[in-house]
Amino acid sequence: MLPMDNPVMSIEPTDSGGDNLEGEVMVERIKWCVKRISLGFDRWDDPHARGPGLYFVVERDSAAACAEPMGANRWLVENCPDIFSSLDALSETAEKIAFTCDGAVIINNDGTIEEEMVRIRQLSTAEREQNDSVPYAEWMGARHMSALENSTRAEILAAITLSEEDGRMTVFTDGTFTDYPRDELVKE
């Protein structure tokens, strides 16, 4: 398990073509949190256990036009109102919802986290035609396919998922993805 004093805020930004440092730090904090939750769950090999599942969307601009509420599923903003809250608060809140809620957690471009969890609408036919070379992988389920497709939207900086089936973390940006199978997270 990762120590809670991991210095995520000191991560050096990469040259990402103009995206700001805050956006990169938000993505790195989510990756750290997802990795910690995946490695902290010890029943991935149990066929009767449901693992934690997460879907985060980091906005570049508002994605409200392509989002719909997911019923009563909500992020606990009273415990963790923004991505820059303590890592303890972020990790504990994410772990709670990973086992009890479904839908995407929206992180606004200023770091605040939306209370209402959402379903991101599929791409329109025109959007799909523009992105017909999106590289789906055989292991992708609905959450991952949604994250991949939606990462092509201009208003989305990145999407990060945790698979409830096998603990893999995947980071989606600009219609591409970097996959971290659980056994590689230990090395990461």
Count Cβ atoms within 10 A of the Cβ of residue 44 and give its class: 0-12 exposed, 13-18 middle, 19 or more buried. Answer: middle
Q: Residue ranges per domain, the chain?
A: 17-185
What pTM, to 2 d.p., does this model score?
0.87
pLDDT for residue 188: 62
Higher pLDDT, 117 or 18: 117
Q: Give backbone dihedrals phi and psi of 82, rounded to 5 degrees, phi first.
A: -150, 165
**What confidence category does residue 63 fall into, taking pLDDT thresholds of 50, 70 and 90?**
confident
- What's the CATH number for 17-185? 3.40.1700.10
Measured torsion, CA atoms of residues 105, 37, 25, 175, in degrees rounded to the nearest 10? -60
How does pLDDT run across 74-98, given as a tens digit for each residue?
A: 999 999 999 999 999 999 999 999 9
* Bridge partners, residue 156, by sequence: 59
Q: How far apart are CA 52 and CA 44, in angstroms?
A: 10
pLDDT for residue 65: 85
Q: Which two tokens stand for residue 66?
A: 């392509």
- Percent of the chain's residues with pLDDT above 90: 70
How does pLDDT run across 116-139, given as a tens digit for each residue?
A: 999 998 887 787 777 667 888 999
Higher pLDDT, 187 or 170: 170
Q: Give backbone dihedrals phi and psi of 38, rounded to 5 degrees, phi first.
A: -60, -45
- Mean pLDDT across 26-49: 95
Q: 45-59, 63-77, 121-135, 147-161 — which is least confidently predicted?
A: 121-135
pLDDT for residue 119: 93
DSSP 50-108: PPP-EEEEEESS--GGGEEEEEEEE--TTT--BTTS-HHHHHHHHHHHHHH--SBEEE-
